[in-house]
Chain A
């Protein structure tokens, strides 16, 4: 069996950035495995703009953004395999992939970076009530059909879920001639970026109904009608509030979930983000297996994926040079108002400052983010506005770790 220092699974925004960073940190024996027929992952179908403002200080489309990384991968001569689906992973870091060209190949890696992205919650997962007709499709799949293959999934469209892909698809479908009747969001606030509500909905007079969800889909073979109902504060449907929409398509933008089947094979501990439990190096509980990007936690902005991936790439290089010390560890926990916090634990001997990432449960204003260990306040940051769709990052300098005698809790306090 062939040995390789570092295998990176996935070549999207995360995989490529991780590979480039590892290479820049002195790791030469790298292999990127990509299941699709080109590098770039899901960015290939994200043809809208808005990417790269942090990373490149200019506004790029998805394919333009990814091409900057492809160029670097090629310049740095980082080897990659296309059409190579990883079908197995073991705890001792044997990676098995399958491809038409190579058949079935097992490789022994010293370190692995998982950068497998995420998948969309489906009609089944949300137990969509009503008939089993066609015309009900997740936003990303509809996006692929349209932007890659040139195929429109319908003419009259209702969108469930106000996540960014749903909003982006509302605009795309409208520009391509479809009538988007409305976007329905079960929560009392949108999960999409404000700018997308403006430029994808408001620009095209598409109504956004909050605290409303699909109570029934009707259609014999193809979707014929969608019924929306208001929900109470427990998200239960309120009878008598039905709104009916005759339409042929229901686009679902109801959440993204880290795609981590391979980590499930090796019983890697999973957190509430549905991604792996990690330390500040983006290393999972399995020694030498790192993870980053949307397969760790779903990001709001791709630029932050690339940044997180660089940390994983750098960390893999440290690991391969035996520089990560695993003496003691401190747990990091989400406190009041947080849905999750990353990393879930911190190795005490830290080589770098720690970027704490979290999301809030619901929109709040005038908050103080408190990072405490017992009664000791490590950081205190004032935040005028916090919304669940935005990932928050705060820096914990490594020197501060000395003051952390027990588990660290990140929580919100009203100002």
Chain B
């Protein structure tokens, strides 16, 4: 039996998973899905920011458009640190495709005029 805190929504349900991968304690169907993924292949969405080259002391926020394996978080951060962009920026703009071959793109999450 394992216990997990669901991170899918602010409710943060306390999930219990038995050896047969039966999940209890969830309030919605997303709970079991998360629990099984967390135990087999845990993933996280990375949110960070990159420099705006033509604005002093300004960053623009970015994220991975798909969750990446949890153990690759710091590797992805290292790659994000290498990126920069010139304003204007728009939400959804791809800054880096298929980061580290993880099938996830780094996309802009903020509009800067």
Q: Which residues of A contact B (CB under 8 A)?
A: 44, 47-50, 53, 59, 61-64, 67, 70, 146-151, 175-176, 193-199, 202-203, 300-301
Task: State which of B16-24, B41-49, B94-102 sits at the interface with chain A.
Answer: B41-49
Residues of A within 8 A of B105 (CB): none
Say yes or no: B91 contacts A193, CB within 8 Å.
no
- With A175-B48, A203-B70: A53-B10 Cβ-Cβ less than 8 Å: yes
Question: Is residue B68 contacting chain A, with contact meaning CB distance below 8 A?
Answer: no
Name which residue of chain A comes closest to B30, CB basis: A53
Say yes or no: A175 contacts B77, CB within 8 Å.
yes
Say yes or no: B12 contacts A193, CB within 8 Å.
yes
Q: Which residues of B contact A (CB under 8 A)?
A: 4-14, 44-49, 51, 57-59, 61, 63, 70, 73-74, 77, 91, 109-111
| Complex Cα–Cα for A146 and B13 (A) | 31
Residues of A within 8 A of B12 (CB): 193-198
Name which residue of chain A comes closest to B4, CB basis: A198
| Complex Cα–Cα for A176 and B47 (A) | 11
Residues of A within 8 A of B48 (CB): 47, 175-176
Point out the residue from B58, B63, B73, B111 that lies within 8 Å of A61, measured CB to CB. Answer: B63
Point out the residue from B5, B9, B14, B109 that lies within 8 Å of A63, measured CB to CB. Answer: B109
Q: Give the A-B pair count, Cβ closer than 8 A.
A: 86
Say yes or no: A47 contacts B109, CB within 8 Å.
yes
Say yes or no: B14 contacts A49, CB within 8 Å.
no
Point out the residue from B10, B47, B91 that lies within 8 Å of A195, measured CB to CB. Answer: B10
Say yes or no: B63 contacts A194, CB within 8 Å.
no
Residues of A within 8 A of B110 (CB): 44, 47, 61, 63-64, 67
6 contacts between A and B (CB under 8 A): A70-B111, A175-B73, A176-B77, A193-B12, A195-B12, A202-B5
Known: A150-B58, A193-B10, A194-B14. 13 other contacts (CB 8 A): A47-B47, A47-B49, A49-B63, A59-B45, A64-B91, A67-B110, A67-B111, A149-B57, A193-B12, A195-B6, A195-B8, A195-B10, A198-B5
Most chain A CB within 10 A, of B46, B61, B73, is at B61
Chain B min CB distance to A201 (Å): 10
- With A47-B48, A47-B109, A194-B14: A199-B7 Cβ-Cβ less than 8 Å: yes
Closest 8 CB pairs of A and B: A194-B12, A47-B61, A63-B110, A195-B7, A198-B5, A195-B12, A61-B109, A149-B57
Say yes or no: B63 contacts A148, CB within 8 Å.
no
| Complex Cα–Cα for A67 and B48 (A) | 17
Residues of A within 8 A of B9 (CB): 53, 195
Residues of B within 8 A of A195 (CB): 5-12
Residues of B within 8 A of A202 (CB): 5
Chain A min CB distance to B36 (Å): 16
Residues of A within 8 A of B47 (CB): 47-49, 61
Say yes or no: A64 contacts B49, CB within 8 Å.
no
Say yes or no: A150 contacts B59, CB within 8 Å.
yes
Say yes or no: B7 contacts A67, CB within 8 Å.
no
Name which residue of chain A comes closest to B73, CB basis: A175
Chain B min CB distance to A152 (Å): 12
Residues of A within 8 A of B14 (CB): 194
Residues of A within 8 A of B6 (CB): 194-195
| Complex Cα–Cα for A67 and B110 (A) | 8
Most chain B CB within 10 A, of A62, A175, A300, is at A175
Name which residue of chain B comes closest to A145, CB basis: B57
Residues of A within 8 A of B73 (CB): 175
Residues of A within 8 A of B13 (CB): 194
Point out the residue from A49, A150, A196 that lies within 8 Å of B51, measured CB to CB. Answer: A150
